[in-house]
Copies of this chain bind each other. A is one copy, B any other.
Amino acid sequence: MPWISSVDQLAACQKLDMPSLNVYHGSQNDVTGEDVMWADDFYRSVKKTNHLITETNAQTIGWDSKGQYPPFDGQGRLFVYSHIAGGANMVEYWHWHSIHYGQETYWKGVLSHDLEPNRFYGEVSQTAHELKKIGSKLVNLKIKNKTAILYSRDSEFGLSYMPFKDGNAYMEVLRQMHRAAFRQNIGVDFVLAENADFTGYSLLLVPPLYVASDALLTKISDFVKNGGHVIMSVKSGFCDENSVVRHVKAPGPLKEAAGFYYQEFSNIRPIPLRDDPFKVGIDKNKAKDWAEFLIPETAKPLALYDDMFFSKYPAITENRFGKGSFIYEGCLLTDEVQSKIVLNKALEIGLTDKDTHLSYPVVMKYGTNDQGKTIRYYLNYSNVEQSFVSGYANGTDLLTNKQLKKGDSITLKPWDLLIVEE
């Protein structure tokens, strides 16, 4: 199950040939894509192999009958290909047919209680026949990304003892950073604090790194000095590896790379950022929950608070350090602002291209198959037909065998998809 903090993932994965996941997701209007694919990205990164999906939503789930949401037409099939696009080698359902008594009566299978073919069975059957035909071109996908999210289990635990907001703020920011990349089609891996290695990455996204050794912070600082780019959230560098607050001005060993220090912080109700610097509109243009009173030394402000008191301190800063750059978010932000920060940096350093950029609800994923070919997925995560121009190499639509040329117009029906072999 993708509750990553309750298990020592590195130790557990060492014993496995291939990790397998039981991953459940929202359905109907609560389908996001992100809630499935972050798990694929995580387990693929930890073990650096492909993986299996051993349980996922069939018709409906629930230990009672209060949250039954059978998928809209196409959603079941979309999830199968999304997992494969994320590195899965198998998708299996819990379970074949619905049970007639007991706790999982309404944790429904591919078949309903009547044991007869139905709408969902029809979709599973279609997908299975497709995979029978083209599966050998999809399996064992190799995925290589330039962006990584740093996951620190110690920080998650440390913040759970001294939370700065209700809920699991650590995971909220981690998931928000993943969502930002996901929705902008910037492929991401995860790097674990325990064996952090940033080799090969250009951009590092850092959720609240509340607990960290000097060594880890120095590694991040050196990554920037040598040309890497960092986007980091609040509370980072505050404590040492024993969750003891450092006796120096925050953010401790990150001070030079970050280009500021702070001595104070405050919980906040939502505060607008002055002049909507990321052009996300009045409802989304907000800092929230937490504000550090950043005092820049070499950093430049990217956003200011529009508030009588807090306006003395920048909300977000960027510091050029060595050959790289360091963006620090001194507050929590809306999804929309986070998404723009990630996109702007990705465009700046060439992780995506203004002319061919696709964004959610079109999800684009790619990798290399056993035959060394690039397999590219276009997935429509919406109720609405999507049209766009193909910005990538010529190739073959694997499901229809039609040829696709760069510059061709592509149309995806609601919850439908396209798989191109380039």
- Identify the A interface with B (CB < 8 A): 28, 59-60, 64-70, 72, 98, 100-101, 105-106, 112-116, 118-120, 161-166, 243-250, 263-267, 293, 308-309, 383
Known contacts A59-B264, A67-B267, A112-B264; 19 further A-B pairs (Cβ under 8 A): A28-B266, A60-B266, A64-B161, A64-B163, A68-B266, A68-B267, A69-B267, A100-B245, A100-B247, A101-B245, A105-B162, A113-B246, A113-B247, A115-B247, A116-B263, A118-B263, A118-B264, A119-B263, A119-B264
- Least distance between A308 CB and chain B CB atoms (Å): 7
Partner of A65, one of B65, B68, B162, B263: B162
- Contact pick for A106, options B28, B120, B162, B263, CB 8 Å: B162
Task: Return the 4 tightest CB-CB contacts between A and B, nearest first.
Answer: A65-B164, A100-B245, A113-B245, A114-B249
Contacting pair B105 A70 (CB below 8 A): no
Complex A-B: 30 CB contacts under 8 Å = A28-B266, A28-B309, A59-B264, A64-B163, A64-B164, A66-B165, A67-B267, A68-B265, A68-B266, A68-B267, A69-B267, A70-B265, A70-B293, A98-B245, A100-B244, A100-B246, A101-B243, A101-B244, A105-B162, A105-B245, A113-B246, A113-B247, A114-B246, A114-B248, A114-B249, A116-B249, A118-B263, A119-B263, A120-B264, A308-B383
Q: Report chain B residues within 8 Å CB of A250.
A: 113-114
Chain B residues within an 8 Å CB radius of A247: 100, 113-115
User: How many copies of this kind of chain does the complex include?
Assistant: 3
A119 nearest CB across to chain B (Å): 7
Is B267 touching A66 in the complex (CB atoms < 8 A)? yes
Q: What's the nearest-Cβ distance from chain B to residue A297, in Å?
A: 15
Classify the secondary structure of A's interface with B: loop
**Residues in chain B near residue A267, CB distance under 8 A:** 65-69
Which residues of B sit under 8 angstroms from A100, Cβ to Cβ?
244-247
The answer on a CB contact under 8 Å between A70 and B116 is no
A380, chain B: closest CB distance, angstroms = 15
Which residues of B lie under 8 Å from residue A248 when comparing CB positions? 114
Q: Report the separation of the CA atoms of residues A28 and B267 in the bound assembly, to the nearest whole angstrom.
A: 11
B308 contacts A70, C-beta separation under 8 Å: no
Chain B residues near A263 (CB, 8 Å)? 112, 114, 116, 118-119
- Taken together as a complex, chains A and B put the C-alpha atoms of A383 and B308 apart, in Å, by 9
| Nearest opposing residue in chain B for A63, CB measure | B162
Report how far A273 CA is from B243 CA in the complex, Å: 57
Set of chain B residues within 8 Å of A162, measured between Cβ atoms: 64-65, 105-106
**Bound form: Cα–Cα A161–B64 in Å:** 8
A350 to chain B, nearest CB (A): 38
A166 neighbours in B (Cβ, 8 Å): 66
Distance between Cα atoms of A242 and B265 in the complex (Å): 51
- Please name all residues of chain B whose beta carbon is closer than 8 Å to the beta carbon of A308 when the two chains form the complex: 383
Hey, which chain B residues are within 8 Å of A105, CB to CB?
Answer: 162, 245
- Please, how many angstroms separate the alpha-carbon atoms of A246 and B98 in the complex? 11
Cα of A162 to Cα of B67 in the assembled complex, Å: 11
